[in-house]
Structure 1
Amino acid sequence: MCNHTRIIAKLSEYRFVGYCNCCDGIIHLAWDNLTLHLAPKDFARLEDFLGSNRTLSEPRQDGFLEASPQARTTRLWVGNVGLRLEPLEWAELRHLCFVARQRLRQSPPMAQAEAAWRMTN
């Protein structure tokens, strides 16, 4: 992670979202031992997905999720990286990303990136 990263949403020391101006606005999503470095449009897409899936009430398989009827956990795929999440962790990640995106929308560089993303998608 860049030395210029500012933490914009935080659940704990190991679960947070950071933002860096110097790398074309890279969003750093840290979850335990994993840190994902996402372009603003990819973070927006992830947050849109999390926002439209409040709970994981049924097993499904699509571009983001993989679950089985026997599993208490769901694997969220971000690119080729999978996060295994229990229901409470799903809610925590969803809330963390929601808060981060709200704060990023108030930041001028991110607001411009959001507007550009909306125009192209």
Structure 2
Amino acid sequence: MEPDHTRVVARLSETRYLSRCACNGGTYHLHWDAATFRLTPEGLLFLAQVLKDLLARGGGGVVWLGAVGLRFQEAEGQDLLRLLQQGLVLPDALSMGYFRHLN
């Protein structure tokens, strides 16, 4: 159950959804099965870019959020990317740029 100060902005299922609260400049809460990850708008945009790059290679993969690895098959990765893109609300200053990751 979501706290009163959050709002679900995108949902795949009861256990996989993205919510946003006004705390810390609009923190996002990514709920994925039994785990919940707190991400800034910049962090969420970075995660979406990493997923997009990994999925472009084909197949599944693992994305590390701190010390926790989120393993996904290709279809799950596509679902997660769609969830992030649907729920992401960016200030104009952030939407102008993008983030890249380095391996």
TM-score (norm 2): 0.77
**Structure 2 residue aligned with 1:99:** 86
Tell whether the 8 Å contact from 1:8 to 1:17 is kept in structure 2 after alignment. Answer: yes
Q: Counterpart amino acid of 1:51?
A: K
Identity of aligned residues (%): 31
**Structure 2 residue aligned with 1:62:** none
Structure 2: which 5+ residue stretches go unaligned?
A: none
Whose relative contact order is higher, 1 or 2, with alpha carbons under 8 Å and at least 6 apart?
2
**Structure 2 residue aligned with 1:51:** 52
User: Cα deviations across residues 7-46 of structure 1 (Å, max 9, x unaligned)?
Assistant: 1010011101111013331110010000000122111111
Equivalence map 1:49-88=2 (5 Å): 49-57=50-58, 74-88=61-75
| Distance in 1 of aligned mates of 2:34 and 2:94 | 28
Tell whether the 8 Å contact from 1:51 to 1:98 is kept in structure 2 after alignment. Answer: no
Report the structure number with the largest CA radius of gyration: 1
Structure 1: which 5+ residue stretches go unaligned?
A: 59-72, 106-110
**Structure 1 residue aligned with 2:37:** 36
